[in-house]
Structure 1
Amino acid sequence: MWRVSSSGEGSTPLLPAVTRLRDAVEASALPIDVPGVDDARLARERLLDQLDDYVIPRLTSLDAPLLAVVGGSTGAGKSTLVNSLVGREVTLPGVLRPTTRSPVLIHHPDDARWFADQRILPRLARITGKHSSSDGPGAVRLVQTDAVAAGLALLDAPDIDSVVAANRDLAAQLLAAADLWIFVTTAARYADAVPWDLLRQASERGTAVAVVLDRVPPESLEEIRTHLAAMLREQQLEHAPIFTVLESHLENGLLPGPQTQRLRDWLSALAGDAQARSEVVRQTLTGALASLDARATGLAVASTAQVEAAAALEAAAADAYAEALSHIESGMHDGSLLRGEVLARWQEFVGTGEFFRQVESTVSRVRDRVSAFIKGEPAKAEHLGEALQSGVEALITNRADLAAGATARAWRTLAGGAPLLTAAPELTQSSPDLPARTARLVRDWQGDILEMVRNEGRDRRTTARIMAYGVNGLGVVLMLVTFAATAGITGAEVGIAGGTAVVGQKLLEAVFGDQAVRELARQARERLLERVGALYDEERARYQDAVSSVGTRPGQGTELKNAVAEVRSAR
């Protein structure tokens, strides 16, 4: 499975695969509050810690000293036990809880190189010297002593059930970094639920475990030991050795020598037997590697859920603005723009309602009437153009506002949406400068129409007709024809809008011909839709940017699954 090089450094095809898995785990952001995300975030943090603190360092240095982490519940006597094994106070016990603040790592001077750098526990600073009240969980205190045999180091960890959350988290992290977990409990608390949850995890991951049963009344020794052994068998930990420490008076703060002699001898023998140390490392490392599959696969599922949640948020915005654009397109066909001010200005432009009753007369009469009108009172073409411009601007802006509101409503019901709206309340409505950008868009579109009219009149005959009517006047009529279908208008407006459509159509056909008019109207609609689509894309991009800011990446779940498969193959 792996080998150790003569230089003492581990060499294994697993290492590159595990390193890539570690990078994929770190890159798997879980920022969106989907169901179950809190458990997934904790699992990700624990997995990343074990990869950094144990799996990768151990694969890199298979013959590094064995790390035995001493852990257990509050008040179990961990620090007193460690001090007693060393023969002096190296870690700080006490009656106030929590007592262990910074973890303390005790090692032989010859092994200093293995622990002074960031090979293991890379996110913990290294400190030395005597304990201080400022000690905290962000550092590990290194202690050198000949009382610990070379080849083995002891690490006194914080309480696994500490009232301080940071201590509990650090304890779990340190236990996951251990080659060997020395679990310390008492006769009164050996059946507590919290330590057994961790023992169950140790069993599932194949971690080597030894148990110290502390403060045992002599008269209850056999009964308690027998019960504890039975509980260990239930968790498939029947091979874990049990060391008992009877109730004793401390001598200068230390346990009597005979009470810790068996454990001391066992640790010394383990430190002095390279084969035995290798077996412990192999057992724990094999179990840790085996656990990566299910843990990383679970994280991949959670990571994919994040990508799907982000995609749902983006899709809500995309759907809202697509619907808005669809309404703009419908507005070009349903005649809804030809109401109110636009109709009034059109009637003013071509004359009274009597004019519409004469629509069926010859094209020349229509042309002559409108031509005379345009040339006689050009200002009224401007009035109609302004009314059309205002109507188009209002339609575009209104639909954008509705899309912003629809997106905000959808986000409040989708995972991760509400926090984004809280962080960026401006997303509940359109951009403040939308009206100004819309006005510029319509003016640019009007420029497109005028350019089309000019381009269409390149031959001399058509140019003469255009000059008879005026480019601006014809451009305004083309704008109107773009919106001049009648579906959706009811009552008296049907006749008026119908007349509007026919009159405008006939006028343009008189100048350009029927085929050219159809093509001009099509181009006018397309260009407006293109411009509005680009405007709505800019509005939608605000929501896309907000989703991107949370840090999910498309494919992050797939990357994890691929990395897991690579490790599985390498094993």
Structure 2
Amino acid sequence: MSKLLTSVRDISLRLEVDGVDEARRTQAKVADQLSDYVLPRLVQLDAPLLTVVGGSTGAGKSTLVNSLVGERVTESGVLRPTTRSPVLVHNPDDAEWFLPDRILPDLPRTDVPTNDTYALRLASSDKIPRGLAILDAPDVDSIDQGNRELAAQLLAAADLWLFVTSAARYADQVPWDYLRQAAERSTSVAVVLDRTTSDAVLEVRGHLARMMTSRGLSDSPLFTVPESGVDADGLLPREAVSPIVVWLHELAADPAARKMVMVRTLDGAVRHVVLRTHDVADAMDAQIAASEVMHGDIDTIYRKALETFTVQVSDGTVLKGEVLARWQEFVGTGELLRSVEEKVTRIRDRFVDGVTGKRTRSTEVVEAIETGVQMLLVEHAEAAAEVASRAWADTPAGRTLLDANRGIDRASRDFRVRAQRMVHDWRQAVLELVRVEGADKRMTARFLAFGVNGIGVALMIVMFSRNGEGKEAGGTAALGHKLLDAIFGEEVVASLAARAQADLESRVAALFEGEMQRFLDLVESPDTIKADQAVLRESARQAEYARHADFLNGETTS
């Protein structure tokens, strides 16, 4: 059972999909039932029988509890809703069973009256027998939501419900919703018809009994408490509550009968949480479907951005503007029709002239290339983030995540810096590629004329024009190709350009992967949700197997 609790608590229903609110409520109820009742009871079957007194507003629960105990242990409320802490009354010798690490572990304990509705007040009385504890719960139909939720939590932690209603309220819908739940869970229930006048008792009791039978509670005891005054201590006459007191004391005194009540309720609780766990697992199908769509959208958008960039780094797109101007200055546009050898001589002169300066023309081309590629990356990253955000905004789940993560519709704040660093690293890798490939050619005249930087520039220009040079570039890129062919040979140049481009694409893919991950980190992957769903179902199945094996044999394990 502890594995089932862990599995239920660990699953995430983060995405706003149809039915998710109900699924979250079910998840919380299953976790509460396991932690508040099932697990504590499984490990301490000898603990006192916890009888929770619940019911409608004004049914007289607190007066009844005081009268059952035989002394004032809880205060009746004049105003509604009654804002007081629930009171658990036990024999002094049973105090250890109700420590904070036992039943209802999430509720803080107190031993003094308090208006903190969410603290459990422990009151000991030697007038209540060992083996029995009575808990006075808030009204199930309280106008205060916190009281209603606490009442539901306490009733779910009970071995036995002592459900109190009155002649005026017994047909109300809310109490019967709780009693229906009790019947569905096979919870042990006794119903108390309180504050009933003698002339109405036969008719009301008969009608109430028929209602109980029709709703699966025919085996539940039905007690009647006649309308009567209270004494100076606010207690009902002893004879008015005697049948209930005798019944409870007999249960407390009979370990076998007490255990039978516990096991019946415990078995029903386990069966119920198993069924509800499968409901939660079913609800995860919608989470999986939404995750698949959202992950698919992001993957498609960033994949398209990468594909578009891949095309543009080889179709001449980069060879525009500043890059083209700097390249043309480097090679000289007016000399395109002369022979390669003449070109080599003139370009060598241009290159050597600039070596002694602070900047060479090849450096200017490289900087223009780095800036151009960086700007192209930023453009695609910004566009992809915007398109991805629009895609998510079309669904409630996506809109909720976008609202909670403002700014994700733009590229990361440090994207420009990371793109700049990546392009610079790639340029260094291209130069290293040239150094390695030209190791045995470094003493040739052509290699000396251009050096590693100049040849690296030419290689990048060739790479950017592999699949169609832009119109503005004219034939300048072709010249770079001829120069490289003269140094390395056509086949080697093609290989170098392909390797340089593959390296750039790999680095860009990693860069875009980081941008894409910003979105994906907000949503569990479909595979993760499926795995959690499988674990949840398996935990539920194991709990059901344990229920059959243990309860049918009259035993329980955790």
TM-score, scaled to structure 2:
0.89
Within-5 A mapping of 1:59-74: 59-74=42-57
Q: Superposed, which structure 2 residues align to 1:50-449 within 5 Å? A: 50-99=33-82, 101-129=84-112, 131=113, 134-252=114-232, 253-303=234-284, 305-306=286-287, 309=290, 313-352=294-333, 355-356=335-336, 358=337, 363-364=340-341, 367-368=344-345, 370-371=347-348, 374-375=351-352, 379-449=360-430
Partner of 1:506: 482
Aligned residue for 1:459? 440
Q: Counterparts of 1:536-547 in structure 2 under 5 Å?
A: 536-547=512-523
Structure 1 runs not aligned, ≥5 long: 1-17
Name the SS of the counterpart of 2:161 in structure 1.
strand
| Pairwise CA distance, 1:117 | 4.8
Change (3 A) 1:350 1:223: same
Query: Is the Cα–Cα contact under 8 Å of residues 49 and 173 in structure 1 kept in the other structure?
Result: yes
For 1:158, the aligned partner's letter is P
Distance in 1, matches of 2:224 and 2:81, equals 24
SS in 2 for 1:158: coil
Alpha-carbon distance between aligned partners in 2 of 1:487 and 1:191, rounded to the nearest angstrom: 84
Counterpart code for 1:247: E
Contact kept, 8 Å, 1:160 with 1:195, in 2: the verdict is yes
SS state at 1:181 partner: strand
Residues paired across the two proteins, number: 540
- Secondary structure of the corresponding residue to residue 555 of structure 1: helix
Residue of structure 2 in register with 1:14 after alignment: none
Are the counterparts in 1 of residues 442 and 448 from structure 2 also a CA contact under 8 Å?
A: no
| Distance in 2 of aligned mates of 1:337 and 1:305 | 45
| Alignment match of 1:476 (pick from 449, 457, 470) | 457
User: Please, which moves more after superposition, 164-173 or 361-370?
Assistant: 361-370
Which residue identity does 1:299 align to in structure 2? Answer: V
Secondary structure, aligned partner of 2:101: coil
- Given that 2:129 and 2:249 are in contact with CA atoms closer than 8 Å, whether structure 1 keeps it comes out as yes
Cα shift at 1:20? 1.1
Contact 1:206–1:288 under 8 Å retained in 2: yes
Q: CA–CA distance in 2 between the matches of 1:272 and 1:434?
A: 74
Contact 1:508 1:517 in 2 (8 A): yes
Q: Say which SS state the counterpart of residue 35 (structure 1) adopts.
A: coil
In structure 1, how many angstroms separate the alpha carbons of the residues matched to 2:131 and 2:513? 64
Q: Which moves more between the two structures, 398-407 or 431-440?
A: 431-440
Q: Report the equivalent of 1:43.
A: 26
Report Cα offsets for 1:72-128 as digits up to 9, x if no partner.
Answer: 011111001111112221111022112262111112233222224532111122222
State the 1:145 CA deviation: 2.0
Shift of 1:290: 1.2
Change (3 A) 1:380 1:114: closer
One-letter amino acid matched to 1:265: V
Aligned partners of 1:164 and 1:461: how far apart in 2?
Answer: 87
**What is the alpha-carbon root mean square deviation over aligned residues?**
2.7
Which of 393-402 and 256-265 deviates more?
A: 256-265
Query: Structure 1 residues 275, 488: CA separation in 2 closer, same or farther (over 3 Å shift)?
Result: farther
Does the CA-based 8 Å contact 1:92-1:100 persist in structure 2?
A: no
Counterpart Cα distance in 1 of 2:46 and 2:441: 94
Contact 1:485 1:498 in 2 (8 A): no
The CA distance in 2 between the partners of 1:376 and 1:263, in whole Å, is: 110
Q: Offset of 1:377 from its aligned partner?
A: 6.6
Out of 237-246 and 196-205, give the one that drifted further.
237-246
User: Using the alignment, how far apart are the partners of 1:293 and 1:138 within structure 2?
Assistant: 28
Aligned partners of 1:396, 1:355: CA distance in 2, in Å?
33
> Does the 8 Å contact 1:304/1:556 carry over to 2?
no
Q: Is residue 367–residue 510 contact of structure 1 (8 Å, CA) maintained in 2?
A: no
Q: Which stretches in structure 2 are left out of the alignment for 5+ residues?
A: 548-558
For the 8 Å contact 1:159–1:171, the answer to whether it is kept is yes
In the TM superposition, what whole-angstrom CA distance separates every residue of 1:360-379 from its partner, at most 9, and x where no partner exists?
x8654554565555456775
SS at match of 1:428: coil
For the Cα contact (< 8 Å) 1:480–1:504, is it kept in 2? yes
Residue 79 of structure 1 aligns to which amino acid in structure 2? S
Tell me which of 470, 487, 499 is aligned to 1:523: 499
Give 1:278 deviation, angstroms: 2.1
For residues 190-214 of structure 1, what are the alpha-carbon distances to aligned partners after superposition, in whole Å with 9 as ceiling and x for unaligned? 1111111111111111001111111
SS, match of residue 426 in structure 1: coil
Over residues 310-338 of structure 1, what are the superposed CA-to-partner deviations in whole Å (9 max), with x where a residue is unaligned?
Answer: 56555544443332222221112322222
- Measured after TM superposition, the shift of residue 524 of structure 1 is 0.8
Counterpart position of 2:550 = none
